Amino acid sequence: MDFTKIIDTHTHIFPDTLAPRAIASLAEHSGDYKPHTEGTLNSLLTSMDEAGIHTSWIANIATKPSQTSSIIAWSKEIAGERIFPLGSVYPYSDTWEKDIDDLFNAGIRAVKLHPLYQHFYADAPDLYDFFSMLEKKGIMTVLHAGYDIGFGKADNAHPSRIRTLVERHPSLTLVAAHLGGWDAWKDVLPCLAGSSCYFDTSFSHETDKSLLESIMEKHGIDRLVFGSDSPWLNQKQQVLFIKSLGLSEADEQKIFFKNASNLQSRYSLLAKKN
Ligand SMILES: [Zn+2]
């Protein structure tokens, strides 16, 4: 295994023709966070080169039920050695079973879901069958966690709700973004740290240092993966932040590469086909 590589499990890009409009409209709701790339594949690759990142996962989000198929088509186009695209399904789509089948048949084994943009609660009882299907099909689920700057105090993805989801679906491989819950870290510690899901590290630099250390210690290095949330944060700065924590080399390698690499090799059928 090559430990010199870095995998960024949380980035956003869009097809070239859509990127300017998508980035501009997202930036309207992103407060002080300004985009660090143009939101295109090429600008992400440039950012990756600057940061020494080998592979980026692309966190596509179907904000409308109809978007699953266009995300599948684009994912097939961009998948490759350095780009690992995640599919997406709108959970309350009338056709969610077919949508999951379609992306499974296209070779996609990982999805990104966002409770705020997709209008669901992480622990909604009526989504039991939806998450059971992802669990049974062996589809890794990357989930936005915590509050979202564009949605005020809406708690759809609160760490306690994600805890319920994790317990309801013990075989589902779940990655909770933003260290288990953006701006809800004091609740992450009692509610979600130490559970069987993974956390990505994006925005962890905003956590109080001692709280960050407590969350990392309780959750365990083996279930932490590096994520930047590019373009909203700068990939290189996020790499440097993790390096500033004073972790052992072995722990750094797990966060930057080993843990995500294990997940990627289990869930990256599409990339292998290319
Ligand atoms: Zn994100």
Find the 56 Cα to ligand 1 centroid distance in Å: 12
Find the 14 Cα to ligand 1 centroid distance in Å: 13
**All structural domains of the chain with their residue ranges:** 7-273
Find the 47 Cα to ligand 1 centroid distance in Å: 16
Would you call the peptide bond into 85 cis, given omega within 30 degrees of 0 as the criterion? no
Q: Is the pLDDT of residue 271 over 60?
A: no
Find the 220 Cα to ligand 1 centroid distance in Å: 22
Find the 59 Cα to ligand 1 centroid distance in Å: 7
- Find out whether 238 and 271 touch, Cβ atoms under 8 Å: no
Residues 98, 100, 106: CA angle, nearest 5 degrees? 100
| Mean pLDDT of the 103-115 span | 96
At residue 25, the pLDDT reads 87
CA atoms of 97 and 267, how far apart (whole Å): 19
Where is average pLDDT lowest: 3-7, 78-82, 177-181?
3-7
Find the 157 Cα to ligand 1 centroid distance in Å: 13
Phi, psi of 45 (to 5 degrees): -60, -40
CA distances in angstroms from 185 to 159, 160, 232, 254, listed in the order given? 9, 11, 19, 22
Q: Is the pLDDT of residue 51 over 80?
A: yes
Q: Is the pLDDT of residue 131 over 80?
A: yes
Distance of CA 95 to the CA centre of its chain: 23
At residue 27, the pLDDT reads 87
Long-range contacts from 119-125, C-beta under 8 angstroms, 24+ separation = 119/92, 119/156, 120/91, 120/92, 120/156, 121/156, 121/161, 122/156, 122/157, 122/158, 122/161, 122/162, 122/164, 122/165, 123/160, 123/161, 123/162, 123/164, 123/165, 123/168
Find the 228 Cα to ligand 1 centroid distance in Å: 8
Find the 181 Cα to ligand 1 centroid distance in Å: 12
Mean pLDDT of all residues belonging to the chain: 94
CA atoms within 13 A on the CB side of 120: 26
Q: Tens digits of per-residue pLDDT, 204-257?
A: 999 999 999 999 999 999 999 999 999 999 999 999 999 999 999 999 999 999
CA distances in angstroms from 273 to 5, 54, 62, 108, 270, listed in the order given? 22, 19, 23, 11, 5
Q: Tens digits of per-residue pLDDT, 159-209?
A: 999 999 999 999 999 999 999 999 999 999 999 999 999 999 999 999 999
| Mean pLDDT of the 91-101 span | 97
At residue 1, the pLDDT reads 41
Q: Is the pLDDT of residue 273 over 70?
A: no
CA atoms of 72 and 66, how far apart (whole Å): 11
Phi, psi of 236 (to 5 degrees): -65, -45
- At 30, the pLDDT band (50, 70, 90 cuts) reads confident
Find the 219 Cα to ligand 1 centroid distance in Å: 21
Residues of the chain with pLDDT > 90, as a percent, come to: 87
Q: The domain 7-273 belongs to what CATH superfamily? A: Metal-dependent hydrolases (3.20.20.140)
Find the 119 Cα to ligand 1 centroid distance in Å: 16
Find the 86 Cα to ligand 1 centroid distance in Å: 12
Long-range contacts from 97-102, C-beta under 8 angstroms, 24+ separation = 97/133, 99/65, 99/68, 100/133, 100/134, 100/137, 100/139, 102/68, 102/69, 102/72
At residue 195, the pLDDT reads 98
Residues of the chain with pLDDT > 70, as a percent, come to: 97
Reported pTM: 0.95
Find the 229 Cα to ligand 1 centroid distance in Å: 5
CA atoms of 263 and 95, how far apart (whole Å): 28
Q: Is the pLDDT of residue 274 over 50?
A: no
